Amino acid sequence: MIKNIQESLAGRIGILQLYSLSMNELADIHFENELTYSLASFKQRQKLAKPNNILDVFNYIWRGGMPEIQTVDEEVRADYFDAYINTYLMRDAFELGGITNSLKFGKLLTACAALVSEQVSYKNLADAADISQPTAKEWLRLLESLGVTYLLKPYANNELKRLNKTPKLYFCDTGLCAHLSMWLTPDILRTGAKNGSYFENFVVMQLVRAYSYGKTKANLTYYRDANKKEIDLLVEEGQFIHPFEIKLSANPKRQEVRKFNVFDKANIKQGDSGISV
């Protein structure tokens, strides 16, 4: 089985550079209208997509979007990801990045999974892999170029002072991230201490996919200032900015949207916004 997986991976490097499948793609749901954040647009999409069930969402988050493992059991899934790491990633890390120490590179990859949805700490990554911070930064860039990780850049605006300049770290496939952190089942992940981080990763990457493949393009960032005021996701589209909070809660607090007022000080045009739950 592993040999077949390795041969398949070795012959499909070009395909694997693309994002894995989204929940809607796996369900064969394709929206006719372009992504906007108006109520009318959401109602139009609701005609095709059923409401998200938290169990289904975390089953997707845990399994990931790689088509080869959608119907396999836990053991084969684990074998697949091990083969993916040992064949595809390690081979390309050597060929494209000149990395010869696979043990340290593997430690960095596992450390990245522990930081999912958090600001990048090159010191923590370097300490975990026993490498220098410049090397950790270079290796993380390589993972991003290979389509393994995604770095969400911080929002920048000259009128807003003391803004954070550190990106946040996400995995392009949450199943790989869950495998690296050894979350053994969807239920354990859903009730675990990192459930909110994985849910945030899920939401961000759904939008990254949507804008990567759709006609409409937007710049995705996040906001954090020196006072640690943070807005999880900003969609910069044309002259407007759409701020969003991402919460794993059925009853998010309304005061979360008060943070959006920070853009009033800079006379920035706000579009539709909200809380993703």
User: If pLDDT is split at 50, 70 and 90, which confidence band does 213 have?
Assistant: confident
What is the per-residue pLDDT for 252?
66
Q: Is residue 8 pLDDT above 60, yes or no?
A: no
Q: How far apart are CA 25 and CA 65, in angstroms?
A: 9
Would you state the pLDDT for residue 148? 95
In this predicted model, which residue has the larger pLDDT, 89 or 11? Answer: 89
In the predicted model, is pLDDT for residue 246 greater than 80? yes
List 5's β-bridge partners, or say none: none
The confidence score (pLDDT) of residue 1 equals 42
d(CA 78, CA 63): 10
Residue 120's pLDDT is 97
Which pLDDT band holds residue 276 (cuts at 50, 70, 90)? low
Q: Which residues contact 56 (CB under 8 A, 6 or more apart)?
A: 23
Q: Which residue has the higher pLDDT, 61 or 16?
A: 61
> Exposure pattern of 40-57 as b/e (b: 16+ CB <10 Å)?
eeeeebeeeeeeeeeeeb
- Burial label for 209, CB within 10 Å (0-12, 13-18, 19+), is buried
Q: Is the predicted pLDDT of residue 64 greater than 50, yes or no?
A: yes
What is the pLDDT averaged over residues 32-46? 73
The lowest-confidence range among 40-54, 195-209, 251-265 is: 251-265
pLDDT at 250: 67
More confident residue, 212 or 3: 212
Token pair for 19:
């994002």
- pLDDT band per the 50, 70, 90 thresholds, residue 9: very low
Mean pLDDT of the chain: 85
Per-residue pLDDT tens over the stretch 111-127: 999 999 999 999 999 99
> What Rg, from alpha-carbon coordinates, does the chain have?
19
Hey, what's the torsion of the CAs at 261, 264, 270, 275, to 10 degrees?
-10
Structure-token pair, residue 274: 């909200």
For the cut 60, the answer to whether the pLDDT of residue 84 exceeds it is yes
Cα–Cα distances in Å, from 193 out to 185, 217, 219, 277? 14, 34, 30, 17
Residue-wise pLDDT for 125-140, tens only, equals 999 999 999 999 999 9
